Chains A and B, each alone.
Chain A
Amino acid sequence: MSQSPRDLLRRFGAPVPRAATVATEVRTEGIIKFGTVTAPGHQSGVTFGSLHEWRARLSAAALDDLRKFLTTGATRPEALIDNWMKAANLGAFVGVFLQTGSGGGVVRALFAYTQPQLSSEQVNEAWAQVVEKPKANEKKASAAIKKLRAVFVAGQDFAEAGLLSLSTLEYEKVMGDRGSMPFQSVDSGVK
């Protein structure tokens, strides 16, 4: 049976004309290999057991813009955020990292928390304060965090995750909490 467009029209009727450019996925072998690099200048040996991660995939242009943003200013944005986290007694800003080995511009921002006595609500309240009502000496940090957040949120597949140190987590206590782990009795039996 002929598969010409004329015959297809005859057999199936004529839909409203439509022609559109297809958004194609471009894959290349261009990847950045993993290796050791110098630590960002703001890091000062903070120890931590929990992290919060923002993750997003950026276009090449957006990645370049982000890198330029992170490397400008007398006090760089990462240092501004780090200084604020330390001053607020939350922890430290580990920095912005580029995922290697997979291609694409996947970036992560890592926030370290060092004060186990703080609840997540207290941490969130501190962030909300610096974002919405920064004090005079917090305005640069506020601008930096807002800009960084906007870049990540505008990226593809934006996601956030909390990371807890497994070895120091009160595992049995957490897993035994039926309020947050209702399927644990099933999950624990699956090998």
Chain B
Amino acid sequence: MTDATQSDTVFRPKPSLPPPANTVGAVGWLRKNLFGGPIDTIMTLLGLYIIYQIVAFAIDYGIVNAIWSADTYRECLDRNRGEGACWAGIAVWFNSMMYGRYPDEEQWRVNLGGIVLLLWLIPFWLPKITGKIQIGMSAVLTFPFLGAAMFIGGEFGLFLQVMASIALTLFVAVWLHVASTYLSGRSLPDLLVSITGFANKDDRLHKYVLLGAFGVGFVLSMIYLGSWELVEVPTTIWGGLFLTLVISGIGIASALPNGILLALGRRSKMPVIRVFCTAFIELFRSVPLITILFMAVTMMPLFLPVEFNPPKLAMVIVAVCIFAAAYMAETVRGGLQAVNKGQYEAAQAMGLNFWKMMALIVMPQALKLMIPNIVGSFMGLMKDTTLVSIIGLYDILLMGKAAGQNPSWLGFHTEPLLFTAMFFFVLCFAMSKYSQHLERTIGGGYGRR
């Protein structure tokens, strides 16, 4: 290197000329991306025109001519002749569209339930936390019972009290686990074992410590839940977004385990099971959700004895669960097929039985591959849940319609629709972006192999 700099005869290129002015900077970007040729230019101008029209209309209708405060729809109409939105109505009906007819003074229960669920799931996003799968499973399998106890209230039966107590114990355990992980650096089971002095005892004794701790928590929860005195809020007056989330939430939570079972059944070597599972999946996948819902409300009462009279919400939830399970089964089957056959063979070679092979080797890989699809199913289910309005459940859509039938708000029709559409858009868009993010991070994980 030093030789070259000392030599006089070395070739010294002139600094290169700057690129032509119209290929760099803003002008270059515009030429490259917007005005690359005559067709490009036409497309760009057309696009700009479309954007202008949409934005101008949106501003006109949604902001300039909109009415933000009024007592009746008539008042809105008199002021803007229907040329702008009447957002005042949304403000009046917002609470109804969120909670349906759930009593105002009890709505804190719904909010609290939502917060508990969120808190339960937060450890998922915390690094360092171990046992995320167990946390997720505890939330999915037991939260519905705690939620039911909180949302319905009243005198709940022994079964619900036991299940809700288990849920509460597990919820507290999850957060104790988080606390112990961050404060002492050890997971909750390790901490419990060492505190009780079993650390140097036989490993098999450890589980008794954990069972004991769980038992203590369970008894405390039972006592605590027994002291609850909540007003009963029957499911018939649930409604709004809350109802939408309850139905789709239970639907998706049950879809995963049921879908896995159905998918395994469809791939089973046992002909009877395979036939039943295949028939079930194909039947419910091939008909529209609305027919399943109709079936639930018109046929289910005929199928069951007169005395066994489940509330409509229960029938609808069963219908949605069946529908979601059939769809999830196919998603899971896709995931199972994507797992390399060598993995199955290796697991069998290790002497694992069927369930161990599935639980320890195949499912974790398949589920990882399926996460984007599962998020997609959840979004799909949430959107499909709007159909329950057709059979008369007061979800966010039907609550919006009911608003337009109130004597003071007659004709208040478009705004609830727009509001609902915007709401769904924001929710689903955020979820799909998150799912894409997950897809990338998980894909990266696979790339390292």
Note whether A and B form a binding pair: no
